[in-house]
Amino acid sequence: MARPHPEPLTMPLDFSDAEMTLLLALAQPIEPAQRSAFLDAVAAAIGEQASGPGLVHQTGRRVQRGFLDAAPAVAQRTAPVPRDRAA
């Protein structure tokens, strides 16, 4: 019985040190558990385009907004509401 061939692994983008520093700075306000997903989303958004600091920054900011916009909604739904204090 022939074994199916696994999907080829996609190679991560080769970011320069300056680009990676920029992305890590953009990831700081994102929840630590979501930072890897943020970096993956930026890499996916850039795709096969020729990378450079301008494209990385522009794409990183756009993707970052999606992660930051989602975070407050989750926090508001899960944060406990103090009931013993008067408003």
pLDDT tens for 14-46 read 788 999 999 999 999 999 999 999 999 999 999
Which residue, 28, 38, 81, is CA-closest to 46? 38
For the cut 80, the answer to whether the pLDDT of residue 10 exceeds it is no
Dist. CA 72–CA 23, nearest whole Å = 21
Q: What is the pLDDT of residue 7?
A: 43
Q: How many helices (H) and strands (E) in the chain?
A: 3, 0
